[in-house]
Structure 1
Amino acid sequence: MNVMNKWKLDLTSGGAKIATRGFDQSMNPPGYTPNFVAAQQVEQGGRNDQQQQHLLNKRAWDMALGPVKALPMNMLMMYMAGNTISIFPIMMVAMMVWRPIKALMSVNAAFKPLETENGTSLIVHKLIFLLGNMGAIALAVYKIHTMGLLPTHASDWLDFVPPAERLQYILSSDVYI
């Protein structure tokens, strides 16, 4: 009997099955166990729920930490924009204020899919999300202040009050010897 004729692929029964023709199980290929697939599915059933819960928790933390992770990039962008009053820095500051305010208005909507899938409340995640967006707004307000657009003196509000005068001027020059 030819060894190659002992194994055939049976495609007539709806699935690819290996049909054996009357020989003992010692001729199975190395590593072949007939009940391995069923045992593997039963074993992974409990682990799959844990993996799903872990992925949902990780996704919630990624969403919560998103604004905090964006702060260093926003700081770099604000530094690169400069302190001059022109259209580019003003547009950047306006977007820096508008995006976090928009995110603050839709916190529940952003976390709603995660809450329905997770089945638990994500209060801590939402608080960190809020703090990150508040940090972005604080960074934008600081940038507005350094540009001189934030009204901080009485002369900014009242026409008859003279503007504040500087008490000290510093002139420096680099001297190379």
Structure 2
Amino acid sequence: MTVDPELSLEERFCRGDEGAMREMYREFSAPMYVIALRLLGRHELAADTVQRAFVQAWRAAGSFDVSRGLQPWLYAITRRAAIDVYRGQRRAAEMLSLEPEQIDRVMVAYDPTMEETWQTWQVRQALDQLAPAEREVIDLAYHGGQTQSEIAAHLGIALGTVKSRTSRALRHLAASLGHLRDDALTDR
């Protein structure tokens, strides 16, 4: 498919230009690999994650919002793909018929970065347990990099509503993730 080369990379990608996909791979695959490696701690899993992320991105190209940047969108896909890869690894480990605590000990003993992956997974679970309105403001603030005023404008709600939703969400997250803080304090 030939697409006007005067269009931005985002526009060409959205229109299904394979050349844009190759450019994106050259520009973003290395940082995506670093993200996946940091989350998973194993080179082969990180490489698999990047491949999965690009396949998912290509499949979603037509729905990509060109007004948003490719980089944060690709990084979010990479994080989700890493979680999927991690879940697959967990399922395989569970097939060994070990207790979950034993699997955690084996995996952490095998690779110290698995502890960070476990913590990342715990945070993801806590975020998934938030009410949708709370999760939305947290996502826009932390992943979208928006201020509370920008979130209010984006969602068409009062600034006070954004602040109260953010406060509630942070209280819920603190309650759900308190054990991570306690673990960090006992490790000292």
TM range (shorter): under 0.3
TM-score, normalised relative to structure 1: 0.26
- Whichever structure has more strand as a proportion of its residues is 1
Say which structure, 1 or 2, has more relative contact order (CA 8 Å, 6+ apart).
1
Higher Rg of the two aligned structures = 1
TM-score, normalised relative to structure 2: 0.25
- Whichever structure has more helix as a proportion of its residues is 2
